[in-house]
Amino acid sequence: MDCPICQTKGLSEETSSCPHCKTDLRAIGLIEKADQAYSAQKKQKTLWILLAMFFVLAFIASLVFPFSTGKYVPQKEYQAMNDQLKSTQDELQQAKQQAANLQKEFDAVKSKEEAVKCDEFTYVVQWGENLSTIASAVYGDGNQYAKIAADNSLDDPNHILDGQKLTIRY
């Protein structure tokens, strides 16, 4: 895990705060875990959809190609094809049920992910930083320094101290 504030890299998943800037990383760790679960669910869902599409195409091909040649299909072969069709339909129904179950699990993971997102965190000012560099690191836009100043009721946004704690809101 990487610290989003000071960009310290290689922190372990169990780290609760950044050793460099003392930022609380618990919520960030939870978001990353939820993101990984979401990605896994998305891959599984895609796989099941592809599998279902394969069975549908196989079913259509089994209906179209034997009759398009104009050949007479013997009763035994017709029965075998009919059995295969029923089997494919059963497999398709199972795939649809599994896809529905995966969708439910996906929705549950997505709602948990939304519950984990935090609205604010505490940032500790490091030597040499100013509100513009902090806003650039947090929001990706140094011009958002006024938001940080307003959220922390700072009279002078040009005067912050090393070690000062700021509340950063999203």
Per-residue model confidence as pLDDT tens digits over 123-161: 999 999 999 999 999 999 999 999 999 999 999 999 999
| Joined tokens for residue 27 | 């919520």
- Which pTM was predicted? 0.34
CA 126 – CA 22 distance, rounded (Å): 10
Residue carrying structure tokens 């599998």: 51
> What's residue 77's pLDDT?
83
pLDDT tens column, 31-52: 888 888 898 899 999 999 999 9
Q: Which two tokens stand for residue 135?
A: 């806003």
Position 89 scores a pLDDT of: 93
More confident residue, 73 or 112: 112
- Alpha-carbon distance of 59 to 30, in angstroms, equals 43
Q: Buried (b) or exposed (e) across 70-95, using 16+ Cβ within 10 A?
A: eeeeeeeeeeeeeeeeeebeebbeeb
Burial class of residue 5, CB neighbours in 10 A (0-12, 13-18, 19+): buried
SS3 118: coil
What's the pLDDT score for residue 66? 60
* 68, pLDDT greater than 90: no
Identify the band that residue 70 occupies on the pLDDT scale cut at 50, 70 and 90: low
User: Does 84 have pLDDT greater than 70?
Assistant: yes
Euclidean distance between CA atoms 42 and 107, whole angstroms: 11
Q: What is the DSSP letter of 142?
A: G
Chain centroid to Cα 23, Å, comes to 23
